[in-house]
Amino acid sequence: MTRRRWIADRVQGDRAWLTGSNADHLARVLRAKPGQQFEVAVEGSVRVGTIVSVSPDQVEFQLGEAVQHSPLPELSIVLSIFKFDRLEWALEKLTELGVARIIPVISRRTEQHLAQAAEKRVQRWRKLAVEAAQQSRCLAPPEIAAPVRLKNALQTITGCRIVLSEQETSVHLKSAVKECTPPIILAFGPEGGWTPEEIQLFNDNGWISASLGSTILRAETAAIAAVAITVTELS
């Protein structure tokens, strides 16, 4: 039987704790009892956790043997900020696919009111990522960075870097990934795509341009499709 997996909020030795909404869900919705067992993700590993005590504020586990798990792919995402409802849906799906890091960026075509409001949404995005990671049995949620201007982000990112571009016609993403050694970073533009100046900025910083094909995809569709292709190639 597959046990439900939780990501520990606190760990000390062979004890782990869930707090906040996770504890409340276990206590009030699942009506968990001492002695029940779940999987608990702690500090890069997964262990069997036996409930010691339960309250709506805190659930304490005794940690037991390790559980085999698949490591996360070494895959990070640079995601230009777009409409929040669709962006948050994309964040959930990218988490389910196992990405390690998501960097929201403000690009030339990012709507100004979204750029101004993005900083206040980061905590919500991180909470959504934790919930999605637990639901999909990931080892950990992706790190979600604070929003940053595209130019500033490109100065700090290293690895095999691929920018998805509608202007690219000769290099397909699958071919580009085959030539890469992890860690891999994929970058996705906003509605309307990257401007020519931004594509030049990527090129100047050593990024590879790649295409997802001849059709024009919405921002969230492109991100999910590209990550699925990349994860398959890395498997």
CATH number of the domain that residue 21 is part of:
2.40.240.20
Query: Does residue 141 sit in the same domain as residue 220?
Result: yes
Is the same domain home to 10 and 92? no
E strands of the chain, at which residues?
Answer: 5-7, 10-12, 15-19, 37-42, 45-54, 58-66, 75-80, 101-106, 143-144, 148-149, 160-164, 184-188, 208-210
Based on the fold, state whether residues 95 and 165 are members of the same structural domain: yes
Domains in the chain: how many in total?
2
pLDDT for position 2: 75
Same domain, 80 and 145: yes
pLDDT (tens digit, 9 = 90+) per residue, 109-139?
Answer: 999 999 999 999 999 999 999 999 999 999 8
Say whether both 219 and 125 belong to one domain: yes
Phi then psi for 166, rounded to 5 degrees? Answer: -70, -20
- Looking at the structure, do residues 87 and 195 belong to the same domain, yes or no? yes
| Per-residue pLDDT tens over the stretch 65-110 | 999 877 778 999 999 999 999 999 999 999 999 999 999 999 999 9
- CA-based nearest residue to 5, from 167, 135, 146, 155: 135
Instruction: Give the per-residue pLDDT at 42.
Output: 93
The last residue of a domain, from among 66, 85, 112: 66
pLDDT tier at 3, thresholds 50, 70, 90: confident
User: Comparing 12-16, 34-38, 149-153, 230-234, which segment has the lowest mean pLDDT?
Assistant: 230-234
